[in-house]
């Protein structure tokens, strides 16, 4: 795996900001919300959209705030503490607690895999180990998938994981990760396979080939 893009950090931050509406829209749709790009854009611009439910609006605004936090702190090192801060924005008001590791069991719809209750020491060690990967794109994707499968938080795990991965990509000028609607079915199928088997190779290849973008997003 090689990095697809070699932007300056300034260029990559600009790219993320320019395409943020689309990135957030893709994330909202991946969560299963039945809305459209124009409604998401209106909410992000501060307009009222009466047809949207409160949880849809909350999801959109939480993603906006999480992205703004990351782009304002792009040089912060990746630590569990930072990941918790990102989740605090992403899942604010959506679960019993946000920004802290879950303390009880959760299930994942449609899969046999049941994630363990998070062990802070093990997660910190895993993050440090993944961050040793020299290739930035692989480092970002592997950490993203590890965090998704670990399900460290009560809610917002996919969204948090993707923003964390994007933070690494943008910091190093490697583009942005976003899953467009046309790829949802294949992504979800491969994600289910990964959850059940803990083998990420097929999903890594899919993400690398279809979900990393530079200035042409």
Tell me the CATH number at 68: 1.10.3290.10
Length of the chain: 217
Q: Using only the alpha carbons of the chain, give its radius of gyration.
A: 16
Which candidate, 87, 73, 207, places its Cα nearest to that of 139? 207
Per-residue pLDDT tens over the stretch 76-99: 999 999 999 999 999 998 888 999
135 DSSP assignment: S
Q: Does residue 4 lie within any of the structural domains?
A: no
Residues of the chain with pLDDT under 70: 216-217
The secondary structure element, H or E, covering residue 30 is helix 20-30
Q: Does residue 106 lie within any of the structural domains?
A: yes
State how many domains the chain has.
Answer: 1
Could you tell me if 141 and 201 are in contact, meaning their C-beta atoms sit under 8 angstroms apart?
no
Domain containing 94: what range?
Answer: 9-213
Per-residue pLDDT tens over the stretch 165-189: 999 999 999 999 999 999 999 999 9
């Amino acid at each position: 795996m090689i990095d697809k893009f070699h932007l300056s950090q300034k260029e990559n931050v600009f790219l993320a900001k320019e395409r943020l509406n689309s990135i957030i829209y893709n994330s909202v749709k991946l969560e299963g919300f039945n809305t459209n790009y124009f409604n998401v854009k209106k909410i992000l611009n501060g307009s009222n959209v009466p047809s949207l439910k409160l949880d849809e609006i909350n999801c959109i605004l939480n993603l906006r705030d999480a992205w703004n936090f990351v782009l304002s702190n792009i040089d912060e090192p990746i630590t569990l503490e930072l990941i918790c801060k990102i989740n605090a924005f992403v899942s604010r008001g959506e679960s019993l607690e946000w920004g802290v590791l879950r303390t009880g069991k959760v299930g994942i719809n449609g899969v046999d895999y049941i994630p363990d209750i998070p062990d802070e020491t093990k997660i910190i060690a895993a993050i440090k180990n993944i961050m040793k990967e020299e290739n930035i794109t692989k480092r970002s994707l592997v950490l993203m998938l590890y965090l998704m499968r670990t399900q460290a938080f009560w809610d917002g795990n996919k969204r948090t994981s993707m923003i964390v991965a994007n933070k690494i990509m943008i910091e190093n000028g490697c583009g942005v990760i976003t899953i467009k609607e046309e790829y949802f079915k294949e992504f979800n199928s491969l994600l289910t396979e990964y959850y059940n088997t803990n083998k990420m190779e097929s999903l890594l290849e899919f993400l690398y080939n279809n979900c990393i973008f530079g200035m042409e997003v």
